[in-house]
Amino acid sequence: MRKLFMILPLVLIVRFMVGCQDREAMTELEAMKAQAELEQQNKASFRYMMEETEKGNYSAWDEVCSADYVSHWGEISWNLEEHKQANRPLLVAFPDFKHELNSMIAEGGRVVLRVTLTGTHKGEYMGIPPTGNKINYTGMLEGRFSEGKLVELWGVGDMLTLMQQLGMELKPKAVHPR
């Protein structure tokens, strides 16, 4: 009987320790699950914004983006309204403009997209009159989300390929002999 009284506290201590580890593991698992759900929601918001842009529905940007949204394209930065205004001529010049989402990766509050952009040049774009040419070029977008809203966007596009597809030629500057 004395052995039982000595073993019983050990059993209770071991059971308590295992129970604590299970709770810690469950807490960690729940945190990971919540993070994965947030990442999926951010990806869905980004995808929605891209799909609605193709339709010219810029009110979707208001739904997805925060009030203090900033977008960066090389040396240019725009707030939300400026970015919408800068994007509108693209849909006029390429009325069948589409984003094909090649890949989308989310980690934490960041979502990165690799896209193929296609369309037919039917309106003036960047001073280039309509050519009727088909375009097909790639771009990368990285968005930073906070509290479910897109706060910041960085974008790059293969503008050299786009300009060549619109008939522009790349020529070196004339070299002057010394």
Question: Is residue 83 assigned to a domain?
Answer: yes
Question: Is residue 123 assigned to a domain?
Answer: yes
Query: Which segment of 23-27, 37-41, 97-101, 135-139 scores lowest on mean pLDDT?
Result: 23-27
pTM for the model stands at 0.79
First to last CA, the chain: 107
Question: Is residue 178 assigned to a domain?
Answer: no
Contact predicate 87/103, CB 8 Å: no
Q: What is the pLDDT of residue 14?
A: 52
Asked whether residue 20 carries a pLDDT value surpassing 70, the answer given is no
Give the chain's domain count. Answer: 1
Q: What is the pLDDT of residue 8?
A: 52
**Which CATH number covers residue 46?**
3.10.450.50
Percentage, residues of the chain above pLDDT 90: 74
Question: Is residue 174 assigned to a domain?
Answer: no
DSSP-derived letter for residue 111 is E
CA-to-CA distance for 134 and 35, rounded, in angstroms? 40
CA-to-CA distance for 9 and 38, rounded, in angstroms? 43
Question: Is residue 49 assigned to a domain?
Answer: yes
CA-to-CA distance for 171 and 75, rounded, in angstroms? 24
Q: Give the model's confidence band at 172: pLDDT under 50 very low, under 70 low, under 90 confident, else very high.
A: confident
